[in-house]
Homo-oligomer: A and B are copies of this chain.
Amino acid sequence: MTSALLTDKYELTMLAAALHNGTAHRRTTFEVFGRRLPEGRRYGVVAGTARLVEALPEFTFDDAALTLLAEFLDPATLAYLADYRFRGDIDGYPEGELYFPGSPVLSVHGSFGECVILETLALSILNHDSAIASAAARMVSAADGRPLLEMGSRRTHEEAAVACARAAYLAGFAASSNLAAQQRYGVPARGTSAHAFTLLYSTADGPDERAAFAAQVDALGVNTTLLVDTYDITTGVANAIAVAGPELGAVRIDSGELGVLARQVRAQLDDLGATTTRIVVSGDLDEFAIAALRAEPVDTYGVGTSVVTGSGAPTAGMVYKLVEVDGLPVAKRSSRKESHGGRKQAQRLSKRSGTIVEEVVHPDGQAPEAPTGLVARDVAVPLVRNGEVVADLSIAAARERVASGLHSLPWDGLKLSRGEPAIATRMVTHSS
């Protein structure tokens, strides 16, 4: 099915009106940016760029779509859409880059007609994926090197779940439970068993946890992860080692006060000689709970709801605004929603140590000189030229960008508490 109807109706009625009098052919630049970060957040992580540019070739109007649109569009507009494919240029922040309020995350250049109808698709993908990656990066930072598993598919829309797995992995998670994310994006899939599996081994005589563990070890080997909290955790750990032996890969605890339980279970495992058996914890973890477990003998965190819902910020709140028409800057100017006109670029300034200090958003081609002692880097890259993808969009590269971006933040920027953006954004206006 075409992605072209994943679109707000008004984009097509605007197109019709603009085609009617020829203004649809004016050269324009639309910019995607966030006016602010979600409340209290200190940085955002760009994600979705690759999904967006890869969706462009399928953003075409097939017969079924045109039939639907014929209910409210005139023949000239329908003819335009029948031929439509995006042939313009796109620049933007590559996936994994940090962003801040006002960062020109994406710039779309082309005729008004060809650009205006991409608004919903561009924003849906960037707002969703960036919200997830931004939350996930905070968890990665809080986990301080311990691996994180994304297991929240069941807490979000079934297709959003795949994008969540991708965005969390992009931000530094080790793996996801979602199989479609492995198929589509190569995200490593993990997972072993749920409480239902243990409960299945119940008879009229009552539950039989050992039978469940034996069945799992038989089928999946001793390197599996046994879920030990279906009945009593201490008994569960004893049963797990009795069945699998001290070579058992891991135990998972999914309920209770995880810090206390992790300490108890670690001591018990060690007593049983299972010194290499790892402890996986899960159950309503967010970045704060992850950080609170740093001192505990936890080997791996499983994170569900909080990561797929952006940990309180389920959308990044970016907007898609017309900033230039036929070379002239344009901007809305009614109350509080001002946007800065003109095609823009961004430089990120760092100390020689690598710590970033400021983002400078300037008119395209008018980069100011970097202050003495600071290093300037252009943040955006060419993504699409004449409708064709020209950038390296690998997730591996994006993962490296997140890691180096987190490393580049001033200390305050990594705080989980509410605060201001980690660096200021300076808007340099047109000198002409």
A232 to B11, CA, bound (A): 23
Contacts of A98 in B (CB 8 A): none
Number of interface residues of A (CB under 8 A): 103
Given known contacts A6-B162, A196-B321, A207-B330, A17 and B202 CB-to-CB distance under 8 angstroms = no
* Contacting pair B330 A192 (CB below 8 A): no
**Does A385 touch B at the CB level, under 8 Å?**
no
0 or 1 for each of A1-28: is its CB under 8 Å from B? (1 = yes): 0010111111111101110110100101
0 or 1 for each of A120-151: is its CB under 8 Å from B? (1 = yes): 11011101100000000000000000000001
* Contacting pair B158 A6 (CB below 8 A): yes
Contacts of A331 in B (CB 8 A): 199
* Contacting pair A309 B315 (CB below 8 A): yes
For chain A, residues 55 to 83, give those with C-beta under 8 angstroms from any C-beta of chain B. Answer: 64-65, 68-69, 74
When C-beta atoms are compared, the residue in chain B nearest to A26 turns out to be B200
Say which residue of B16, B192, B230, B334 sits within 8 Å of A10 (CB atoms): B192
Q: Which of A174-182, A241-249, A346-354, A374-382 contacts B (4 or more CB under 8 A)?
A: A174-182
* Contacting pair A332 B162 (CB below 8 A): no
When C-beta atoms are compared, the residue in chain B nearest to A231 turns out to be B333
0 or 1 for each of A216-230: is its CB under 8 Å from B? (1 = yes): 101110001000011
Given known contacts A5-B180, A8-B153, A195 and B159 CB-to-CB distance under 8 angstroms = no
When C-beta atoms are compared, the residue in chain B nearest to A16 turns out to be B219
Contacts of A431 in B (CB 8 A): none
Given known contacts A68-B182, A201-B23, A154 and B17 CB-to-CB distance under 8 angstroms = no
* Contacting pair B128 A157 (CB below 8 A): yes
A397 to B358, CA, bound (A): 56
For chain A, residues 158 to 178, give those with C-beta under 8 angstroms from any C-beta of chain B. Answer: 158-163, 177-178
A42 to chain B, nearest CB (A): 21
When C-beta atoms are compared, the residue in chain B nearest to A253 turns out to be B334
When C-beta atoms are compared, the residue in chain B nearest to A181 turns out to be B5
Say which residue of B16, B74, B315, B332 sits within 8 Å of A305 (CB atoms): B315
Contacts of A297 in B (CB 8 A): none
A75 to B226, CA, bound (A): 23
Given contacts A128-B156, A156-B160, 9 further A-B contacts (CB under 8 A): A13-B216, A120-B161, A121-B158, A123-B154, A124-B157, A199-B330, A256-B336, A309-B315, A314-B314
